[in-house]
Structures are given as structure tokens and as C-alpha cells.
Structure 1
């Protein structure tokens, strides 16, 4: 997972994207599309967040009151339908899109970019946090909603930054628009507008569709669970460090999918940020934030035993791992932003074949192997394609990038004789892009699928003509991609519960890991609820 301040300039005509996405499908009842013949139209790239103008008809009311104080009078709300505010659901978590001004060195507004944030309501209906900071003051009635949070300066705790959100309208019980003011030490730095949506499946869609319902749910006690791999009728769940509990490995016997049995958990002091997992034969490979790739022996699948870490030597952060045939690929953000390639023909004894730095911005976050090519999600450097036929001489073939991109995860397959990539970012509004990648030097976007732009997609798994997506607060989404230019949702299940006190209010919450190993089931990891097992559709 990553965090970064998106800076995406606005684009005219953004509304036309709605006609291109195919989003909003909620059932299997739609007509099955005809087989794809390979024809496609190149689509324009608008980025993840698109500036469509102010979200609300309000602004700071200059001179009327101090906009840095918790005062409704400081805002001009004359253009708002404030009578709708009384109908807002004042519970759970609302994710915000804030239209931040993009400032120059002299605080001149050069444009706008979008960032995500949140408002959280407590059990009694009162706001408890804004932008992750404790609420210091608030006012609410049938026509008023004002929330202010404060953050002390780290260098001078007696001074504060203040963040104030004032409601303008609630067009539905799950949507809020309004104005926002940011002050530092009592001085208004800038004002903006926002739009917020409640992170609950009780909004305008059901908890599930398409028959996707779990056969089991198993809690994970170590840290924050983020990924899963299934081998030998066992599910291996890895976790990163939580606020109070270290991460590590949790093992379940899933021979009875409806009744998984906890077998063991493993955590190493000082080395427990484990973000990715894969296996081959009797070897389990874990991506460690401190020691590279950790190798466990799973000849006894319920009791992994430590073997070694590779490549050894100085500390190295490996974020994700991938096995393709006799190759193990390890994506390392630091210290060198490199991709490591190992020979694992002897699975318990990985042999390093090469270490490669692409020389583009960002770092290798994840990858997918297809043929002799490795498709690397390279963070801020975009989506990059390399030739790995000779692991000692990796060649960059081309890529796909746009301003504000953070390439996070991808899956690649062959459709109508063409090589098609499904690419997902990890930013405000990040979604599924469909790319024609036969010529990596001239990659073309031919389709996309969007949900609410206050959330972000996370991981993707392609199984035949189904794309299974771990979509953070949007839960599990299953897309029919038989015609990749028109992805069509056929099923979903929402795991996120915004009233659960364990649920976080940040962007990167909910479903993170997903696997479809071909055993008739789908394995999903939710950061709060743990391991879900669903029947494969």
C-alpha cells in the first residue's frame, strides 16, 4: 500500500467518461455480450481524478466572520439547499473528495488536484474525526453541519492547523457536499469544496449480487492482513504491522472450505512487515519489508519452518513476489528500486539470476509474467513492460503513464489473439483500465471500469474471462471481461462495515488480497474481518 498527494490537472469533457466505463451493473440479468472480435477504439486518458469544477455552491464569506474559527457565519451558504442536511445519515464513515487548489510559490492558484479524506461519526451521531484528526468543535441541526478538527504543530505544540468542513447539501442520505477551509496558526491558507459519500453497502446497492456469498469467514489476529496464497489445502495469510500488533504469517487448513481450521501464526521480532506471499512445491516465499524474500519449508503445510532469506547481505525491502514457472520475481522498493529475478527450479534454494533497475521514476510495486515479458506496476513511473527472456539482460520495451499515476497491480491475458492487460492504480478514483499491450512502445487504452471515485482499486486476478477485483471499501467485484473493451460487473460482495469501530477511515481499508487458485473457490483478505472464502463463479 502507498500514499501520495495526487496532482492531476482538470480535463474538459470529463463527463463523457461515463459513457465509456460500463460501471454500475449489479446483477447477472443483463444480456450476455457477443464474443469479442478484437476490434477496439483508442480511448483518451483523463487520469484517475478529474476536475469537474466546484462540488458545492458555497464559499468563505470574507469579512463576515473568522473562517479559522468554528463559525457557520464565516461561509456563504446562500446558494445551498440546507434543508436537505437533516436527512443525512449521521453515522459511519464518509470518504471525501476535496478539490484542493494547486498552489505556486507565491500561493497563486495554478489549478486543482483531488485528495481523499474522511469524516467519521460516532455511535451517538456526533462527528469524532475529520481528515483523521479528532474533532475539536462541531455544530449540527436540521439545517446545519459544521465540523472542525485541529492538529498541533510538531515543532510548536501550542500552535495549530485547523480543518473546517461545512455542509451545503445532502442530495441523498449517503452523500454530502460542502465547503472546506484550511488554516495554519489562525491564518486562512485556502478554501475549497468537497463531496463525501458514505462507505456502506446500505447506500444504493445490496450487500451482494450475482450469488457471491461467503462460505466461511475467519479472523486473523496478526497485524493487518493484506495478502493470501493457497497451496496444499492451506491458506497462507500475510500481514503488515498494525498499530499495536506486529504482522506475520497466519496459516489455515482449508480442506473444508466452510470450516477453516487455524493451524499456526509466525511473527519475527523486528521483521514482521510481510506484504506478499507465493509458493512453489514445498517452498513458501514471503515478501518482507526488512530482509528481502523469506523462504519457508511447507512440506508439513500446517507448520512452516524457516529456511533462509534471499538475496541475503544488507537489508532490503521486498514488497511483492511472483512465481512464473521456474522464475521467482521480487519487487523491491528500497534501497535500490529494483526487480530481482531468481531461479527456483529447486524451490527451497532460490538462486539469484539478476537485479535490475529500470531507470524510470517510482519503484517496482508488483508485476505479472506473461510469455517472455514482465509487466511491472512501477508506482509513479507508470506501467512498464520488460523483456525477461535473458534475466541477465532485461530490456525495457515501453510503458503507459499519465500525470498523477501510481501503477499498483495488473493481470495480463490473451483475448482474440491480442495481449490485453488489466491495470489498476492506488489513488483517489483509481479504477480498472484495459490496455492493448502487444506493442509496448505504443500501448493503447481500449476500456475501463469505474466505481465511486472516493475509493481505490487494489489487486486484480484474471481467471479465464472473469476479472476478480479487490476494491478496498467496495469489497469484491467480479467482472465479465469476455469483451475487454466493455467490462461488465456480474457479481459483488461488500465486506466493509463503516460502523465497525475496528474499520479505518483512510482510503486503504477493506478488501486487499484476492486469489483464485482454480480449486472452485475465491480467497479474499479483508483488513479487519480476515479471510473470506467464496465459491468461484
Structure 2
């Protein structure tokens, strides 16, 4: 097997772009709360963790990285893969914002990109064998012809976001066969969705729990599909979804502010509790955008918790509000919701410069904040994921894209409750507002005026320009896909033989 990808392993940590910095090991609660440590990873974006909690896999813009987090106060980079697919005439693969381990085969990593349209650049799905995370091996590459902002991998299928302007669709790739086998779009439910501006209805992310897929469709809400047959996704229900006619406008200013803005979705282990993270900002109205005295409409959004035990009739339980921000505009200080994960009655969440949090959601109608750590001068968190759960020896990780001169990083945190020592302020007057559940109160006045929601309505986002269409359609990835399929089948046979 040829490996074209350039690797820099943990032995080369002194190379440019990587350094390890350790904090003093966090004290057991109820002492001051702080990270175990961190390691720099240039271009860090999303992160996933192996089932045993020992290795974190990061999307890193121009590539991906594997990090040993099994000793959380000494995280170390195992491999840094940069410029994958550089042999392609339009390579390498760039704009890599998302990676996923196959839920049922966690030795397989799926790497996708570019997240947003890059005219003339190759786009597709890279399949990687990470049975040895210090030496990941490329298995195959499938060229899509459209950008892939996010994905999910399960049972040998990659569920891809396809946003090309006309049809923002879910595309299901069988990466063993090397072909697209299924697709679904809002227009399958109602033709009127085709008349809604692209910026109001991009498919931003997808999450699959067993045989059910959840699609975050921005202002169009979250849509629930039966994917028991991945070749024929079927609509089951929706969360916070307005009628198509309610989404008027060109999709620019309206897509920035609430309501809507469904950005990321995930369920707990039971599949009955759904979290919907909404990514939004404020915009100035009544004058030009540069006038700082103008009234603000909108602001950062939080995470809604929904009971989806009956997917045909979801029930909203509560909302976890975002941290405050001194400037809630798109060009300001972002504290809106980003990616998160449920585990054992806990919710681990990221809020850009608002930090990372842990909530007790064992009673999802009344979530309780347990932990909040932030350092807005240096960290802008993209994701929070569990490594090893448990208050005594557990830990979780948070990926930061960096702030200013501080590079992207992977932080490790203790998995217990605690208070940060002298936490930095997020507001001009030094106060910090939080709200949990339906009956608690915000401690500071709102910094923004929220627009009136439309009836029945509830991008770092995708924000695809409708004039930018893909060079190729999804069906039939061409010769490259066929070659990739042969490579994948050979690799599976080789790995099975090696294990036996």
C-alpha cells in the first residue's frame, strides 16, 4: 500500500507548528478548576475520541492529526498528516473541518473537505486506517465534486452534507462499494423548499443514532430521518421546522440572527434526548453596520434539549443559554453554541471564546451547570468530547482554533465539577450570565434585542453562495471512486487477515 500523505510523528514534536505545554495537574475537586494540559495543533477544528478514550483525532484545516490523550496531563501528538491527496491534479485536500470515526468500526477514520466551496480544488472523502494511530494509513479517496462541511460515519456508510445552492442534500456514501447509495433533501417533503434562499436552509451537520439520522438545516430546523435502509432515507419528523413560506428574504442578514440557526445536533446514548445547538449572532439595525450606537437585533444562541422519544412529536424541555459577550456581532467576540457531546447524563459543550462547559442533564428539563472554563484571550473552542468519564480519573478534551497569536490547541480537562480561579470576564462590567432550565434567571441584562420569532420556527457556518454550483453531481463519483473501492476492499481483507 502506498502512503502519499506526509507524516510527522510524536518524535518530531519540535517541528514547526507543534509544541506541548502542560499545566500543573488539576487538583481534585472541590479545588480550583483548570485544564490538565494542552498540545498545539495548527489549524485545529473538530475532534473525536476513540472509544477507549486514549486517542483524539483532529481535523486541522490542511490535514488531520492524532493525539495521545491517555495520560491527560501529558497529551502528545502521535501523527500529523498534512496535504493529503496531494497527487490529485487539483489537490491537496484542503479546508478540512471535520473528521469522524466509524461508530461501528473505530479503526476507520473518515476525513472530509473542503468545508466550504474552493473553486478548482478537489473535494471528497478520505478513508484512513487508524488501527495504529501513530501511523495512519490512507485506504482510499472518493471525489465528490461538492464541498463537504460535515459528516457522520456508521456501518461503512459516510453521511455527507452537500450544499451546492440549488439542492442542499444529505448524501449517503457506501465507502466499501465506492458509490453513492442514498440521498435526501427538504424538497422531498415539500417542493416549496426550493424557493427558500440557500442561506436559510443549508444542511450544516448530520448525526446518526442507530437507525435514525438528525439533520441540522439552519433556519429550516432539524429533520429526523429513518435510515434503517441507508439507500432510502425516509422522513419521520422535524424539530422547530417552519413552513417554507415563513423563510422570506435573501438569506444574508436573516441567516445570522435567531430564530433558527440549527447548527449541530446529537442525541444521548438512549436516542431519546436530542440536543440542538444554534449558532447565531447579532446585527445592527436602523443604520449602517459600522455604527456602534445602532440597535442590535439577535445575539448568540444556546443549546435546546428535546424529548424525541416520539420522533413524530418532539417536545422541547429546556434551553442552555450561551455565555455573554461584549460584542455579539459576527465580527465581534463569539460565545454562541458550537459542538457538544452527551455521556452518562452529562453534556460537554463548546462556546468558542465563551469556553467549555459541563452540565448535569440527568433531568433535562432542568439542566445544572457543573463546570465552566474559559480563556477568551487565547482559546476559541470548536468542540468538546469525552475521553474517559468519571469524577475521579476521568477527562474530556476541547479543541480550540486559537485566538490572535495563540495557535490551535487540544486541551484536556478533568471530568468533575469545579470553579475556575479568577475566571476572565466576558462582559465590560465584569459579570457573567448563565441560565439553566426553564425557571432560572439571567444575572445580567441582555446585551441585545431578540427579534420576534416566526410562527412555528423555533456559518463558521456553511453560507454557500447560490451562484457557486458544484463541478459534478453526487451520483457516480467516476473512475476515482471505482479505484477507491478496490483499495478499500483490499484493505479490509488485509486487516482481517492481519488480526487473525
Shared fold, TM over 0.5 = yes
In structure 2, C-alpha distance between the alignment counterparts of 1:256 and 1:460, rounded to whole Å: 22
The aligned counterpart of 1:219 is 40
1:58-97 equivalences under 5 Å are none
Shift of 1:464: 1.5
Q: Which segments of 5 or more consecutive residues in structure 2 lack a partner in the other structure?
A: 1-28, 84-90, 115-121, 188-192, 243-257, 282-299, 329-334, 403-407, 417-500
Kept in 1, the 8 Å contact 2:216–2:265? The answer is: yes
Kept in 2, the 8 Å contact 1:251–1:263? The answer is: yes
1:523 aligns with 2:397: yes
User: How many residues are paired up?
Assistant: 305
In structure 2, C-alpha distance between the alignment counterparts of 1:318 and 1:534, rounded to whole Å: 30
1:534 aligns with 2:413: yes
In structure 2, C-alpha distance between the alignment counterparts of 1:356 and 1:257, rounded to whole Å: 41
In structure 2, C-alpha distance between the alignment counterparts of 1:378 and 1:474, rounded to whole Å: 24
1:228 aligns with 2:47: yes
Shift of 1:370: 2.6
Residues 298-332 of structure 1: CA distance to partner in whole angstroms, max 9, x if unpaired?
2331122322222x3x5221111223445432223
Kept in 1, the 8 Å contact 2:78–2:133? The answer is: no
1:331-342 equivalences under 5 Å are 331-334=161-164, 336-342=167-173
In structure 2, C-alpha distance between the alignment counterparts of 1:491 and 1:469, rounded to whole Å: 10
Kept in 1, the 8 Å contact 2:79–2:133? The answer is: no
Shift of 1:463: 0.5
1:368-447 equivalences under 5 Å are 368-399=207-238, 400-401=240-241, 404-413=259-268, 419-428=272-281, 429-447=300-318
Kept in 2, the 8 Å contact 1:226–1:237? The answer is: yes
1:140-159 equivalences under 5 Å are none
In structure 1, C-alpha distance between the alignment counterparts of 2:32 and 2:152, rounded to whole Å: 30
Kept in 2, the 8 Å contact 1:210–1:492? The answer is: no
1:253 to 68, 71, 88: 68
The aligned counterpart of 1:275 is 97
The aligned counterpart of 1:512 is 382
1:238 aligns with 2:23: no
In structure 2, C-alpha distance between the alignment counterparts of 1:461 and 1:377, rounded to whole Å: 15
3-state SS of paired residue (2:45): strand
The aligned counterpart of 2:331 is none
Aligned CA distance change for structure 1 residues 237 and 414 (closer, same or farther; 3 Å): closer
In structure 1, C-alpha distance between the alignment counterparts of 2:33 and 2:321, rounded to whole Å: 20
TM-score (norm 1): 0.52
Shift of 1:397: 2.0
In structure 2, C-alpha distance between the alignment counterparts of 1:281 and 1:434, rounded to whole Å: 28
Residues 244-289 of structure 1: CA distance to partner in whole angstroms, max 9, x if unpaired?
xxx3212323343222222332222542211111123432111211
The aligned counterpart of 2:112 is 287
In structure 2, C-alpha distance between the alignment counterparts of 1:248 and 1:330, rounded to whole Å: 18
Kept in 2, the 8 Å contact 1:358–1:396? The answer is: no
Which has the larger strand fraction? 1
The aligned counterpart of 2:12 is none
3-state SS of paired residue (2:46): strand
Aligned structure 1 segments of 4 or more residues deviating by more than 6 angstroms: none
In structure 1, C-alpha distance between the alignment counterparts of 2:100 and 2:33, rounded to whole Å: 25
In structure 1, C-alpha distance between the alignment counterparts of 2:138 and 2:56, rounded to whole Å: 17
Residues 323-364 of structure 1: CA distance to partner in whole angstroms, max 9, x if unpaired?
3445432223236422222446x6xx7664312223246222
In structure 1, C-alpha distance between the alignment counterparts of 2:33 and 2:179, rounded to whole Å: 41
3-state SS of paired residue (1:385): strand
In structure 2, C-alpha distance between the alignment counterparts of 1:331 and 1:272, rounded to whole Å: 16
Kept in 1, the 8 Å contact 2:323–2:351? The answer is: no
Kept in 1, the 8 Å contact 2:350–2:382? The answer is: yes
3-state SS of paired residue (1:257): coil
Aligned CA distance change for structure 1 residues 210 and 226 (closer, same or farther; 3 Å): farther
Shift of 1:229: 2.1
The aligned counterpart of 1:184 is none
1:366 aligns with 2:205: yes
Kept in 2, the 8 Å contact 1:495–1:511? The answer is: no
3-state SS of paired residue (2:60): strand
In structure 2, C-alpha distance between the alignment counterparts of 1:460 and 1:356, rounded to whole Å: 25
The aligned counterpart of 2:346 is 466
Shift of 1:517: 4.2
Kept in 2, the 8 Å contact 1:380–1:406? The answer is: yes
In structure 1, C-alpha distance between the alignment counterparts of 2:66 and 2:370, rounded to whole Å: 31
TM-score (norm 2): 0.56
In structure 2, C-alpha distance between the alignment counterparts of 1:471 and 1:209, rounded to whole Å: 24
RMSD after superposition: 2.7
The aligned counterpart of 2:185 is 357
Kept in 1, the 8 Å contact 2:151–2:161? The answer is: yes
1:45-124 equivalences under 5 Å are none
